[in-house]
Structure 1
Amino acid sequence: MISWDDPAVPHWDFPRSATGVGVLVEAGNTLGVEAGTILRGVGLRPAELANPDLLVAPAQELAAIRNLRAAAGDRPALAAEVGAAYRLTTFGILGYALLSSPTLRDVIAMTLRFIDLSYIFSTFGVESTGDRIVVRLGDATLPEDVREFLVDRDLFAIHSVLGDLVPGGLPFTEVTFAGGRSAETLAAYRERLGPAASSPDRGDGVTAVFDAVHLDRPLPQGSTAAVAVAEALCRDLAAARRTRGPVTSRVRVEITGRLSHGAAMSSVAAALGVSPRTLRRRLADEGTSYQRLLDDVRVELAERMLATGLLSVEDVAIRLGYAEASSFIHAFRRLTGTTPHQATVASRTRTSAAPRA
């Protein structure tokens, strides 16, 4: 009997990297859909999508998905086309952890442990039945208007990532798109998955099956040492996101996307559909305040930008929403006890002193 833990986060309402929206923009570009069309109402600019540290709320990615679907028109295989655009490199440090995993069994365990470092919307679960491994993607909690698209996209994203991990790809012996798919859509899916794909009228979600014999075959780039490092990095990144309450997490996401425009509390409250007074109360219930979160986000991003050595203090100040560099320097000193210049020098010293492989 094979068993895995349940996903560490059993829902899709978690902050995610803006890279996921970037994938949607790239997919749209191949279909002739402009980035501005996909990003309409999303609250992101194309240049921001290259920042893997920028977090977005699920609602922002859903808005981009709706825009892409509307602009793409009648494309039976759109979910498959978008899903195939997700590769191991799309997932950042999680992708590296999966690539370093010694076996497919380890890949599954890693995915479940850090599911919230991905872009999945479906409820993800894996179980064994005899010599079969069954991957289930549930859609019961997904928004109805994009439910079918999301669960199908997630399945094809998994299929694409497995193709990066397993030489020749991982053949599914059975794939069921429950709830019914059009004959045209199912035909397009079979071109990618093989004849095993079917679509009964009843049920929900998607089920994919593969032979358990693949579980413990060594993966070509698996490394015990590398996966240990990658898992530790995933753990740190996930912990930083999970230790905050749901309101705190969403506010941090909204602040991050609005910093260059000032990140006024009123605009963040409006984005969350509450009044500033209600937002203030909910943050207090979680033991924090809007100003504290704004300061924290500014310091974190400032330290990262300064450490690159590519931006001047003036550039960082503008990106963080300060009217002038002197205001940024004063705030940074107050919050960290050092100046931006001193922080930059210290970061460069640590980097130069680090051992080289």
Structure 2
Amino acid sequence: MNSWEAPAVPHWDFPRSATGIGVLVEAGDALGIEAGTILRGVGLGPADLSNPDLLVAPESELAAIRNLRTAAGHRPALAAEVGSAYRLTTFGILGYGLLSSPTLRDVISMTLRFIDLSYIFSTIAVESTGDRIEVRLGGGTLPGDVREFLVDRDLFAIHSVLGDLVPGGLPFTEVVFGGGRSAPTLAAYGERLGPVASSSEGEVGATAVFDAAHLDRPLPQGSTATVAVAETLCRDLAATRRTRGPVSSRARVAITGRLSQGAPMPSVAAELGVSPRTLRRRLAEEGTSYQRLLDDVRVELADRMLATGLLSVEDVAIRLGYAEASSFIHAFRRLTGTTPHRASVASRTRTPAARRA
């Protein structure tokens, strides 16, 4: 048995795009569940979900998932319904990279290298044995109340994305849901996967098998040149996220969601489940401080908002939690050495590639 490389990030505690919560809202809408119900306690509004640059902590997505499950009631195929709502376009630049991959082998490799640009919660491993490719999802580290749902959702999301990549879809020859599933759930899954699904005892997980003959068949939209560009963009985006420690990453996400209220440290610490003193100490251990994070987030968002040319300096100041534009202008000049107006003009005159750099 041969194994692919291990995922670049072996855990689920990484920031993820708010777009993932948008998928949950869309799935809920199809079931007649209002967005406000799913977003209760999440700290986001519907307008936030269309911003691919807005990162959220995994706890925010878990809260939305719990809200959705509660509101949906007893639906044996809920995880399958939600997972099937994930498409290549859901994954932003990673989805673009997967679509550009020449073969399914390349798709698997790119997924594992940039797993933290996805929305997966399960642990994932890919192994080959003769003519079989096994995709194994584990739920051992996931919260118990959503463990089974997350594993199954992730499996059906993979199934959906493979359907976008392979003409006619990629049929699984066998799917085993570890930890057992109820008879109605297994029957509902079988309607989507075909007569290949079964359950077994043991830990909660899932193993999907497909024919290794699919691995090196050319994909219709694969392009060596295009995938090279996409891989560079994925690498840059992942590097930006990975250079931050786990506490500072989560603090940045919480700060972003509270900027319009000034992002006071006590409220951010409360969201992270620690005291302000503990948060201060942990950030120091990661070589940063709360004020530095707040300044960084404000500058990054200010640059993006000013670059659009659609918002005035006063509008940007309000969105970033400043009481008045003059305070924002003074802080921006102190942190960047230029004024918001000059930064806005300079950004709009740069090429798109230069703005991404």
Q: TM-score under structure 1 normalisation?
A: 0.97
Deviation, 1:351, is: 2.6
- Tell me the equivalent position of 1:126: 126
- Tell me the equivalent position of 1:254: 254
Deviation, 1:167, is: 0.4
- Tell me the equivalent position of 1:172: 172
- Alpha-carbon RMSD: 1.2
Matched, 1:92 2:92: yes
Instruction: State the distance in 1 between where 2:192 and 2:42 align.
Output: 31
The SS at the match of 1:145 is: coil
Deviations 1:12-33 (A, max 9, x none): 0000000011110110011011
Report if the CA contact (8 A) 2:147-2:204 is conserved: no
- Tell me the equivalent position of 1:20: 20
Report if the CA contact (8 A) 2:148-2:204 is conserved: no
Instruction: State the distance in 2 between where 1:177 and 1:310 align.
Output: 50
- Tell me the equivalent position of 2:299: 299
In structure 2, what residue type is equivalent to 1:299?
V
Instruction: State the distance in 1 between where 2:167 and 2:282 align.
Output: 49
The SS at the match of 1:230 is: helix
Instruction: State the distance in 2 between where 1:277 and 1:315 align.
Output: 33
Instruction: State the distance in 2 between where 1:353 and 1:278 align.
Output: 40
Instruction: State the distance in 1 between where 2:65 and 2:268 align.
Output: 22
Deviation, 1:352, is: 8.2
Matches within 5 A, 1:1-357: 2-351=2-351
In structure 2, what residue type is equivalent to 1:105?
R
Deviation, 1:202, is: 3.2
Q: TM-score under structure 2 normalisation?
A: 0.97
Deviation, 1:204, is: 3.0
Deviations 1:163-186 (A, max 9, x none): 000000000000011111111111
The SS at the match of 1:199 is: strand
Deviation, 1:316, is: 1.2
Deviation, 1:203, is: 4.2
The verdict on how the C-alpha distance between 1:340 and 1:70 changes in structure 2, with shifts beyond 3 A counting, is same
Percent of aligned pairs with the same residue?
86
Report if the CA contact (8 A) 2:140-2:203 is conserved: no
Instruction: State the distance in 2 between where 1:31 and 1:170 align.
Output: 27
Instruction: State the distance in 2 between where 1:195 and 1:202 align.
Output: 22
Deviation, 1:273, is: 1.2
The verdict on how the C-alpha distance between 1:203 and 1:313 changes in structure 2, with shifts beyond 3 A counting, is same
The SS at the match of 2:175 is: strand
Instruction: State the distance in 2 between where 1:300 and 1:2 align.
Output: 43
In structure 2, what residue type is equivalent to 1:231?
E
How many pairs were matched up?
Answer: 354
Deviation, 1:201, is: 2.9
Instruction: State the distance in 2 between where 1:100 and 1:122 align.
Output: 25
Instruction: State the distance in 1 between where 2:224 and 2:82 align.
Output: 32
The SS at the match of 2:124 is: strand
Could you tell me which runs of 5 or more consecutive residues in structure 1 were left unpaired when the two chains were aligned. Answer: none
